[in-house]
Structure 1
């Protein structure tokens, strides 16, 4: 039978199978796709974690800058005429709204932003009495208040944002400190108010 197949120019069935197996073993078609399939999950996990962290730090920087800009009104005394309600909660809301307005592209969700403005006689007291608003995985703003600074007083102004980690919970779980998918972004500025005089009614802000 083998002699007949050789005479006819054909290979025996067994030899054809061996050639097919050897050809399959040498083939590189689709190898890149298979290799990428092995690393796709860790690659995208790392990519999403990088994006999530970058967005969080960007929002944190925006919050810091917005608080710094808005706090200049406290520094220079403009706040006396701008936040002039007899209700401290109303002044706190106006101060918060100004922080949100200073943030570009609506990066700060004002409904999740809390502000705290306190005054002290010295920097040592400001340091010892300023504690983290995050305790046991919860945001505690019960002691937040708005105190109108007077000339020469030490001012501690804080803005705390309940930030939602929105890309992927599994890639950002290590960033959360307010429960799943949430992190407290805290911006703080400390300064001594200038020796300003109380602005006259109708003065610009």
Structure 2
């Protein structure tokens, strides 16, 4: 029995001196946090990129309203949505049911504070439905919302805006129409 115990101790000492496979073990220890970090960077990067595309598309659509081009050509809500989708290189318009456009006229800039919230107290999304191109010198708000589906569950828990786990990417332009 004593020989068996000595043999076991010698083998344990041999393992402690053997460096083969150390890299694989170290990589196994840091692989999961590394891949989680990479997935977070990629998902957040795509969200910020989509937000920038949505901002640019919103400002292009708002320019059409502000200069009177939308009113003169009697643009419909679907035409404004088409314009926004064309400006976003197809990234956000793969599912048009997730895109919401609101164009609303206000009597003055101070009345903009009365704009209804997009999410209620239960985190239920209240899609904007108003579409009014306004007239000359009207105070306008063009708000475009895209319900971005979050991919990674742990980022979804941290960044969701709605009860169904989506992130709302919102772009708003506020201006006074030109006297066209």
Structure 1 length normalisation: TM-score?
0.77
Maintained 8 Å contact 1:70/1:102: no
The partner residue of 1:117 within 103, 109, 122 is 103
The partner residue of 1:25 within 2, 16, 24 is 16
Give the aligned partner of residue 46 of structure 2. 55
Secondary structure at 2:101 match in 1: strand
- 1:113-171 deviation digits (Å, cap 9, x = unpaired): 11111111221112x11233112222102x521112211111101011111113x2234
Q: Distance in 2 between matches of 1:95 and 1:63?
A: 13
Secondary structure at 2:137 match in 1: coil
- 1:11-44 deviation digits (Å, cap 9, x = unpaired): x998776554433211111112112212222221
The partner residue of 2:132 within 147, 153, 160 is 147
Give the aligned partner of residue 169 of structure 2. 185
Give the aligned partner of residue 42 of structure 1. 33
Secondary structure at 2:50 match in 1: helix
Aligned residues: 176
Q: Distance in 2 between matches of 1:13 and 1:145?
A: 84
In the alignment, does 2:83 pair up with 1:98?
yes
Q: Distance in 1 between matches of 2:123 and 2:116?
A: 15
Secondary structure at 1:64 match in 2: helix
The partner residue of 1:138 within 117, 120, 124 is 124
Structure 2 length normalisation: TM-score?
0.86
Unaligned runs of 5+ in 1: 1-11, 85-90, 197-205
Give the aligned partner of residue 202 of structure 1. none
